[in-house]
Chains A and B, each alone.
Chain A
């Protein structure tokens, strides 16, 4: 049986989110780790892996733009791909992200009373985990 265009694009979108998650994990994870490691060899390796993650992330941005062009050219297709289940799942993912950000801010705020933490590290970790939680929850809610 031939798969409909809606299903093909829905699958492409899911794969895009999957690769965004992988790219973000490697790229931004490496970006945070580079500030914490002093060994030059390990640092070089982390930068190299991080660069690989950045490439994955950037390539997916281009693929997302291409997918967006296809979807936006047909309003029926756009409506079908953004149907109520998709919007419901998107809301749930953003809720997960919101609570992750809020909880992390509370944790770091509490920690800052006892220890001295760099503002940059706090921002980076909050952004990293907050975004990752949104992406991972989106993959979980939208899985087949």
Chain B
């Protein structure tokens, strides 16, 4: 899996909804650090959390997360 990089649009989607990381974290039910590390690509979320995030932003998971081959 080291040949792949998971990129995401969380920052963009947050900006559209005008939410801070902390506000998003509260709405999703996780800590701010979890949102921060996912957004910065330091932590890969579980499928469940990825789907929950996508549902919250009302977009498909593939639109929120994209697997890029290095």
Write the residues of chain A forming the contact surface with B, with a CB cutoff of 8 angstroms: 1, 3-4, 6-7, 10, 76, 79-81, 83-86, 88, 142, 144
Contacts and interface: CB of A to CB of B under 8 A. Distances in A.
Nearest to A142: B33
B26 interface: yes
B49 interface: yes
Nearest to B49: A84
B37 A85 contact: yes
A110 B69 CA distance: 47
The 3 A-B residue pairs with the shortest CB-CB distance, nearest first, are A83-B30, A85-B34, A80-B29
Contacts of B33: 10, 85, 142, 144
Contacts of B45: 84
11 contacts: A1-B20, A4-B25, A7-B32, A10-B33, A79-B29, A80-B25, A83-B30, A83-B34, A85-B33, A85-B34, A144-B33
Interface in B30-53: 30-34, 37, 43, 45-46, 49
